Amino acid sequence: MALPPRPTLFDFHGVSMTKYFTDNWDNVQNFKARPDDILLATYPKAGNTWVSYVLDLLYFSQMSSERQESVSLHERVPFLELQMPGFPSGVDELNKLTTSPRIIKTHLPVQFIPKSFWEQNSKIIYVARNAKDSAVSYFHFDRMNKVQPEPGDWSSFLQRFIEGKMVFGSWYEHVRVWWEKKKTSSNILYLFYEDLIENTEQELSRLCSFLGLSPSEELKKQVIEKVLFDNMKKNKMVNGSNDEVFDFKISPFMRKGKVGDWRNHFTVEQNEQFDEDYEKKMKNTDLEFRTVL
Ligand code: A3P
């Protein structure tokens, strides 16, 4: 199938978006969440694939090996707001799912989350990743994903990242507003990519206790093994190799999986400018990130 063209960004209710995430807007906003749905929300490149695989394994790995061996992760965990010409929409995929709970991927900022998730008190997991690694990961992703806007070169991309002119808007707003929302919503668990890297087992336990799950030691061990970066990179069902919009000649989808790769991209000057701006943007929040471990 011919790929649709690379889209351009436009302002959508104050957030930069592309049509592939706004064309199905009414159906997304009217989506009927269920109390047992699990919404996995992240700004792009914060580890959504990683955590969605963890969740899928926790709930379904003991049910059928067929799911693990022949259904790609993006079908098991549909992407709520996605609407790509020639493909079923995320909402359609979700309405077709026969397994429960439904694990649902989204990159939407808080204010765009369909209201039924709040009405149903569905569980929401938010994963945040530090800005510098997010920017680097997003740059390589936009290079290889043919349905993202043209990234341009690294320095112009970084400038746009700082200005919030990215698909799904400003990283700063996204992580901050979800953080504030979490303070008043007991149905939200806020996780950090850096903690997941540093201590996967501990974060898995937090996740399970939030979800009310008590997996056996055996299952926990299996999950931790399967979600290791190198194992996911080899697994065709989760490494993006079934995704026609990715150009692996440019960059892998499972790229590095590290904290601190930004140091290989930021010049000293870019880093100083970034830090100065970061302080201004984040001065009124108690949200803190680690950029190295
Ligand atoms: P890098 O580009 O820095 O390697 P998302 O799934 O939200 O698009 O996030 C993608 C980022 O998460 C990529 O970061 C990817 O490599 C990383 N990632 C995916 N699976 C991972 C894992 N098992 N362990 C560590 N990082 C992982």
| Residue 62 confidence (pLDDT) | 87
Residue 57 placed within a domain: yes
Is 18 part of a structural domain of the chain? yes
Give me the CATH number covering residue 219.
3.40.50.300
Has residue 289 been placed in a domain?
no
Q: How far apart are CA 275 and CA 14, in angstroms?
A: 24
Could you report the per-residue pLDDT of 251-282, keeping only the tens digit for each?
Answer: 999 999 999 999 999 999 999 999 999 999 99
Q: For residue 75, how many other CB atoms are within 10 A of its CB?
A: 15
Mean pLDDT of the chain: 97
The answer to whether position 260 is within a domain reads no
- Kindly state whether residue 228 falls inside one of the protein's structural domains: yes
- Ligand 1, pocket-test mutation among 45, 105, 132, most atoms within 8 A of CB: 45
In a domain, 43, yes or no: yes
- Overall domain count for the chain: 1
- What is the predicted pLDDT for the residue at 3? 78
Which one of the listed residues 107, 140, 174, 265 is annotated catalytic?
Answer: 107
| CA 261 to ligand 1: nearest atom | 3
**Tell me: the pLDDT tens digits for 184-196?**
999 999 999 999 9
Active site residue 13: no
pLDDT range class, residue 1, cuts 50, 70, 90? low
For the chain, the first-to-last Cα distance in angstroms comes to 43
Residue 206 located in a structural domain? yes
**Atom of ligand 1 minimally distant from the CA of 257:** 26
Pocket (CB within 6 angstroms of ligand 1)? 42, 44-50, 133, 137, 140, 227, 229, 232, 254-257, 261
pLDDT value of residue 242: 86
Mean pLDDT of 78-84: 97
Is residue 192 one of the residues assigned to a domain? yes
Do residues 117 and 181 lie in contact, with contact meaning Cβ atoms separated by under 8 Å?
Answer: no
**Hey, whose CA ends up nearest to atom 23 of ligand 1?**
229
In sequence order, what E strands does the chain have? Answer: 10-12, 15-17, 38-42, 103-106, 123-128, 188-192
**Can you give the residue range of the structural domain that contains 215?**
10-132+167-242
